Amino acid sequence: MGLVRGVLHPEAFHGDGVGSSYFEGWYVKLVAADLHARYAVIPGVFLDPQGGGEAFVQVLDGSTGQSWYHRYDISEFGAEDDRFNVRVGPNRFTERGVVLDLASLQGEVRFATPLDPWPVSWRSPGVMGWYAWVPRMECKHGVVSFGHDLEGTLLHGGVPRSFDGGRGYSEKDWGAAFPSAYVWMQTNHFSERTTCLTASVALIPWVRSEFRGHIVGLLHRGELHRFATYTGAVTTRLELDDDEVRWHLRSKQGTVLELTADRPRGGLLHAPVRTEMHRRVEETLDATIRVRLLDRSGRVLLDDVGRCGGLEVHGDLDRLLAAD
């Protein structure tokens, strides 16, 4: 697809005509109203420049930590380059919902309210900001929907799980490979239903060096608070141990965001490297993430805890912590 069209449609497929190793995956999070059933379903594709590759649908059961990787021939993958519409074998993923026919999960979940994407404009096309215009970045990112209501039923092990009144979230990644080290967290299960946090910090290759870049979006009461490298926000504290992630940021305007996430055990997912789709990454859908947002005078704008949080902490973390 053309660069302009691709940048302005981060939710769509970007792999047409790519001549090097390439992956693209959509992360679809489904959480039932009672929070007991929660899944991350990830359709995607890995393209090999020699003409091979594979399509896949991954499933993570957030309540048990079990995961499944369903592989398909590349010919069974299809996606549109101007909207969210993905097919992998008999499985469909669109702006209207998902239809699954997997050994691990079957059924249909409809999106009962419209998707709520990160705003896209020419000057700041989505979550990547102006970095979206850089053609050779190792990995690019998009937020397809901060949150939307769900309805429908999935069968897991023959047991029906209702998603009526549940909440969904969706994002995506595409490029050559995942970063060599990163922290990612997300939750939209706060005391106010429409609040959503998505946050990541990673080592970003740049020319012949690298830098530590971050992208954080906090949607609260209709306002999107952006804390990103490209907005001038800085990390003032980043600490990791076996129990917690503690991350504080300050915007160029003086707003402060404090994030504290616990680190429960999760399940293993497949992630892309430059030659294949099979680096193993641990992810949980069971993290709790405390979020404090303060204005420049120190007044607390939000102090809440998100549940059913997605969390990945992976790679050369010492290098990530030491980077500028």
Q: Which domains does the chain have, with CATH numbers?
A: 3-322 (2.40.370.10)
- pLDDT of amino acid 278: 64
Bridge-based pairing state of the strands 97-101 and 106-111: antiparallel
Q: How far is CA 50 from CA 21, 47, 54, 103, 278, in A?
A: 9, 9, 12, 30, 18
**Statement: the pTM of the whole predicted model exceeds 0.85:** yes
Per-chain mean pLDDT for the chain: 94
**161-182 tens-digit pLDDT:** 999 999 999 999 999 999 999 9
Instruction: Identify the pLDDT of residue 33.
Output: 98
DSSP 258-270: EEEEE----EEEE
Widest pairwise Cα distance in the chain: 57
Q: Are 19 and 49 in contact (CB under 8 A)?
A: yes
Q: Confirm if 87 and 45 have CB atoms less than 8 A apart.
A: no
Q: Hey, which residues does 234 pair with through a beta bridge?
A: 250
CA 219 to chain centroid = 15
- pLDDT value at residue 31: 98
Across residues 228-242, what is the average pLDDT? 97
